Structure 1
Amino acid sequence: MTDWFGRTFDLRLGPPGHGGFCVGRHEGRVVFVRHGLPGELVRATVTEDRGGSFCRADAVRILEPSPDRVPATCPVSGPGGAGCCDFSHATPAAQRGLKAAVVAEQLRRLAGIEREVTVEPIAGYPDDASGGWRTRIRLPVDAEGRAGVHRYRSTEVIADLRCPQPVPGAMDGIADRIWTPGADLVVTVDGDGVRHLVELPPAEQATPRRGRRHG
């Protein structure tokens, strides 16, 4: 079978799947397409093809947008970007519907359970909230000591901390300093709003190098 990596084509997207993609089909193969929504006609570029019955792609142009589409709220997770904020280009209500559909399909396919699933808004947040809820984050550090996030399905670090998921204050000051290359930062914000930050050393080191408590 010919390797489709880098190939671009148009296709109509079907239902969502676990991992932030929608399922499409092209020339008899299944294509898992990120950055699209069910029902959309998109122009997709293949980003991974290991042979077999499926490949992975990014929607690089939306030819017929869904009525649920909005401007993406995450500037880090677009085509070629990070693996966070899978459906930040959909309304919050549509995002909950997509997540419910994915869970219902997993229950049906893996456990044989037919059940209607409802994903509710996070308690204490407006129904239309699109971020500001995540209280625990793990950030990789690149070879230059900059904290960031992993590129989707890659170990490459994107030194960009503008993801809207963390609660306010969780990322304050992290981009302003240099960390140990190859380390990971674990950031948590507790119930009192206090931030805790621990730098985990690279694998060749034995113990965390520093821990901090921030008010």
Structure 2
Amino acid sequence: MTTQVPTNKSILFDLDGTIFSMSSTLLPRINKYYDRPVIEAVPMIEHMQQTGGIYPGLLTVNSCYQPRLFVEQQIYPQCFELINYLIDNQFDVWFVTMPLQNYHTKSSQQEKIAQIQRYFGQKLAQHVIFSSKKYKIPGLYLVDDRPQHPAEESKAQWKAILMEQVYNHQIDCSRRISTNNALTDMIQLLNKDAQMRIIDEKQNNEHIILRRQ
């Protein structure tokens, strides 16, 4: 068991909907119940709202209760490249994920750890933290897809990066990356923030010099 912990220089990543596609598991399961395929998860919610029915919701819940929910998820290729880029460039990468309620907690944790080990090796498999209070985990950034994510930035040490998904397009967040362009988006964001820090440090030094004169 590792004794390492994240620091205020760590880059944190959520798992489901951020680097792994939940739809890659859920949609094949749900589509078994429909005559025509459901393209993505959001139309299921829209269908429930339009019809007032609960059947689509029950299908989704039933699909979540089936085994291997997490271990069968496919990683977004660009996110795979992004994580490897950060590792190769000596960034301290961690994964912070909420424990799923009403599911076999131990099984879901084992599946998520197995996924990280599968794609990134044993060392990174020891960098998985299970917590519903992500704002308590130290870090430089947290990349997450949840619509509530940017609002937690005020309580956290990290800066919020929103992984763009259909269900969070209306959320206000100054730092965003996409699953289709994650590596380029993240590099641009890191470079921009680095330049801003240099400018801030220069201005602070100038203020110190002026006060001393």
Q: Which structure features the higher share of strand residues?
A: 1
Do these two structures clear the TM 0.5 threshold for a shared fold by scoring above it?
no
* Structure showing greater relative contact order (alpha-carbon pairs closer than 8 Å, 6 or more residues apart): 2
TM-score (norm 1): 0.27
